[in-house]
Amino acid sequence: MATDSSHALKTGYDLIRSEWPASILDSLNVPLSILPEVVAPGTKIGVVCREAAEQTGLPAGVPIYAGMTDGCAAQIASGATEVGSWNSVIGTTLVIKGVTRELLRDPLGVIYSHRSADGLWLPGGASNTGAAAIVAEFNSSALDKLNHAAALAGPTSLVVYPLASKGERFPFVASEATGFSLGNANSLEERYRGVLQGIAMVERLSFEALRNLGASIDGRFTISGGAVKSEALNQMRADILERELSVPEVIEGAFGMAMLAAAAESSIQQVTRRMVRITRTIAPKRSFREYADQYAALIAELKRRGWLHPSPATPPEIGVHA
């Protein structure tokens, strides 16, 4: 039985040459014969046989298609399938996945790419910032009140790098990185606002890093994950990214795999336009100028600590798109 190149990547499959790395396998004394055939995601690899139909209840003859990893499946479900489109997920951590025409070459090794069914590249990166910083500091019973206050108050001069545990992996690599604040909050509400603002600024810095590697960020931005429940954070993200953000109706991996199977008869982009539903969009309301000084201070401090080495592009450029 064949496997897909997305899952095979995790065991060393070479996506550029579309083959198992024979020299590495030889050095490990792993015979190539024991490894499965590898096919592109979305390739038809069989049908449900009579025995399987009896065991599962699925009709005999239902086609079976090669899949992708759960992260890629969720990306497809979000609708981020065209070059320049990106899905940003904030759960415990911040994960960004998107689509590029060419493979991104990242000297730091913080970005790695899967390959889509149509030959495009699916780069992604994961920061250790995210909702874990909120859970570490704030009582869950107070979040509704804090979110309401944050939505009304607007930007704060407090600069926060919201890292709940030691170490960062994207948009830079620093095993010694720890969370920090510049300035003091005058209240719990301001502290909460500063943490949300910090998460959104790390997200902006992540997109800056992707663009500096040559990625197009001109397409649709979708957002998902548990943090989407915070309208205050959603609005900060739209303001700081200077982009309209779309919230897809369904983001489960199973839906993404259904889309991939449907694409066998057309294309994943056509299927996306037909099947993905957007429940709402968040447009920027405040100018990034209201956050620019805090963002510049965050960048300067990350550089001063020796964690951020490449110079990110100037802040206003992130929102420029066709």
Provide the CA 109 distance to its chain's centre, in angstroms. 16
pLDDT 10s digits, 158-196: 999 999 999 999 999 999 999 999 999 999 999 999 999
The total number of structural domains in the chain stands at 2
**Least confident stretch, 106-110, 241-245, 281-285, 303-307:** 106-110
Query: Both 203 and 292 in a single domain?
Result: yes
Instruction: Label residue 309 by pLDDT band (50, 70, 90).
Output: confident
CATH number for the domain spanning 310: value is 3.30.420.40
Q: How far apart are CA 2 and CA 218, in angstroms?
A: 36
Q: What is the pLDDT of residue 28?
A: 93
Q: 184: which DSSP letter? A: -
Instruction: Label residue 42 by pLDDT band (50, 70, 90).
Output: very high
The dihedral built from the CA positions of residue 133, 139, 140 and 142, taken in this order, carries a sign that is: negative
Q: What is the pLDDT of residue 319?
A: 54
Map tokens 């911040």 to a residue. Answer: 94
Query: Both 194 and 300 in a single domain?
Result: yes
Bigger pLDDT: 145 or 316? 145
Q: 292: which DSSP letter? A: H
What does the DSSP assignment read for 203-269?
HHHHHHHHHHTT----S-EEEESGGGG-HHHHHHHHHHHTS-EEEES---HHHHHHHHHHGGGS-HH
* 261 domain-assigned: no
What is the length of the chain? 322
Q: Which pairing describes strands 86-90 and 221-224: parallel, antiparallel, or unpaired?
A: parallel
Query: Both 313 and 201 in a single domain?
Result: yes
Could you say which of 35, 67, 99 is where a domain stops?
A: 67
Instruction: Label residue 13 by pLDDT band (50, 70, 90).
Output: very high
* 257 domain-assigned: no
Looking at the chain, which runs of residues are DSSP E strands?
3-4, 38-39, 44-47, 63-65, 86-90, 94-98, 112-115, 121-127, 159-161, 180-182, 221-224, 245-248, 278-282
Instruction: Label residue 321 by pLDDT band (50, 70, 90).
Output: very low
User: What average pLDDT is seen over the chain?
Assistant: 93
Query: Both 74 and 56 in a single domain?
Result: no
Q: How far apart are CA 189 and CA 36, in angstroms?
A: 55
Q: How far apart are CA 204 and CA 212, in angstroms?
A: 12
Q: How far apart are CA 79 and CA 271, in angstroms?
A: 9
* 263 domain-assigned: no
The dihedral built from the CA positions of residue 258, 95, 221 and 9, taken in this order, carries a sign that is: negative
Range(s) of the domain holding residue 35? 1-67
Q: What is the pLDDT of residue 164?
A: 93
Which of 244, 307, 255, 262 shows the shortest CA–CA distance to 88? 244
Query: Both 102 and 244 in a single domain?
Result: yes
Which of 222, 229, 66 shows the shortest CA–CA distance to 143? 229
Q: 83: which DSSP letter? A: T
Query: Both 181 and 79 in a single domain?
Result: yes
pLDDT average, residue stretch 133-155: 94
Could you say which of 18, 34, 67 is where a domain stops?
A: 67
Rounded to the nearest 10 degrees, what angle do helices 70-78 and 253-262 cross at? 70
Q: How far apart are CA 189 and CA 53, in angstroms?
A: 57
Could you say which of 67, 83, 114 is where a domain stops?
A: 67
Query: Both 129 and 243 in a single domain?
Result: yes
* 313 pLDDT more than 60: no
